[in-house]
Amino acid sequence: MSKKVVFIGPSGAGKTTLRKIFFEGENSTKLLEYALEPTFGEESLILRLPGINEDIGIFDLAGQENERWLNSSDNSIFYETKILIVVIDSTASSDNNIDFIRKVIDVRNKLTPKTRIFLLIHKIDLISQKKIRDVNSAISTILPKDNSIKYYFTSLKKKYFTQILSNFIEIMKSCFIDESSEEALLFNVIDESIKLINLISKEIVINKKDLHEKLNRPANLISHLIDNLILKGHLKQETVNKQDLISLTEKGKNYYKDIIESFSTVDLDSINSTADLSQFELEKEIPPIIGALIADKDGRNLLKIEIFENALEQFILKNDPSYAYNNKFDLDLIPMFISALEKFSLELNIQNLTGFGLKGTNLGMHIFSYDRLTVTVFLNPKVNIDPIAKKIENYFYNLFEEFETEFNLSLSTGQVDGLFPIMNLGRNWLEELNEYYNNLIINLEIYDLRSAQKLYSKIDELFERVKLKNVLTLERMKKLKVDLMKAILENDYQELKKIAQITQDLSVFYI
């Protein structure tokens, strides 16, 4: 078994239902209608992913035996766990839920500190918006300030189903992230580097051991960043009384001053907010490609291209869960963020960020790096950008060539008025690009997560049409859903197309 995923939570919270739906292909409507028998001991299954040569062991721990799992020698079940999925009932006592979460975190920290926790605050369709906000506030205060715990508000009701499917896909994909790889390092580098520099700047001088403990991140990641920053002359390390003391050099203070001051702690917290409050409303249809920001290498925004006026604000900012609480985020910070990423990546000898992407709950960002300019394209996070990435890259390459005089003037003078006519050209191009992408989807030439989610729901609804006597067909459909989850995890678009065709044939037969 390559990876290990463990479900734990109070009795009746919904662990087994979630497991059966997403890993065994059971019908969500039927499981909501009929209560399941309580789990006893542990139940397990193996999810085999031959395409990426990985197996995932899924363990479901009985809620009635949580005292056994958390307070006895049987807690060895948590050893070598990659992902811990904690399911709590949002309608239950907040004090009891918080006490349970703390116990799980304590056991994780003692036995398997590298395990990532995904907390599912379940059955939110049964509580009010005020209760949701209260729960969000209470839970966010007890979680450690690092990336090892992420939490979602979830429900299996139809209007939330697409979102919870997205959550499970993200959870399962995190099984395959190797935080020591260069790709994972690059993904974390800006967030981790800014936190590291902020902490050192705040402490002035800090013991290397304390630095690791306060950041609570993988030791190899922090050591790699420190070593490179020392090599570049931005940090210095001195041994005093057998302790390694880290501090910023004057060069480091000057180099990072503009970058660090651009991102307050509040801004970073809002960008990295883990609670997806936006899912409590019906999901708005986000176009495949929303827009793009063109900036110079210092992060100064030169031009904004959008599918319609204020599209970026509508889909990125106002859909962001932090927006309702903290309306301080400035869209112009994003190019500065990307500029900082480029600078930090150069510190790690990564020469070009073209093709690098960042994903969040409400948006995806894909970076295209040119000689003097950087383009950040904003897209629906469920879009498969690979088939159109070259098309986008070539468009901007040709655009910069066609309007070379105007861009050179903006770069040298800071005046951007001469670039404004490009906005309308860009809007027309975005409309054509979205139409082109949607046609690829319609014609089954490509598949993306949006399509896969709709397909999953379609198979689920198809259960309703199949008579109970067709047991073999029902079993076939359950297998289709499991295969669909595997195909999503493996990015196997050919398999997705095959499943779509089978589903279409079944749909016609059972009209």
223-251 pLDDT tens trace: 777 877 787 777 888 888 888 888 888 87
Q: Are 359 and 241 in contact (CB under 8 A)?
A: no
Q: Are 189 and 341 in contact (CB under 8 A)?
A: yes
* Helix/strand number for the chain, H first, E second: 19, 14
Q: Which of 17-26, 149-158, 278-287 has the lowest mean pLDDT?
A: 278-287
Q: Give Cα 344 distance to the centre of its chain.
A: 21
Q: What percent of the chain has pLDDT over 70?
A: 74
What is the Cα–Cα distance from 303 to 198, expressed in whole angstroms? 30
Q: Return the exposure string of 408-441: e unless at least 16 CB atoms fall within 10 Å of the residue's CB, then b.
A: ebbbeeeebeebeebeeebbebbeebbeebeebb
Residue 41: what pLDDT?
A: 62
Residue 273: what pLDDT?
A: 40
**Residue type at position 167:** N
Please report which confidence band the pLDDT of residue 300 belongs to, taking 50, 70 and 90 as the band edges.
confident
**Mean pLDDT taken over the chain:** 77
> What is the value of pTM for the model shown?
0.64
Q: In terms of C-beta density within 10 A (0-12 exposed, 13-18 middle, 19 or more buried), how is residue 144 classed? A: exposed
Q: Which of 20-24, 50-54, 184-188 has the lowest mean pLDDT?
A: 184-188
Q: Is a pLDDT exceeding 80 seen at residue 186? A: no
Q: Are 175 and 58 in contact (CB under 8 A)?
A: no
Residue range 356-411, pLDDT digits in tens: 445 544 667 888 888 888 898 988 888 888 889 999 999 999 999 999 999 999 88
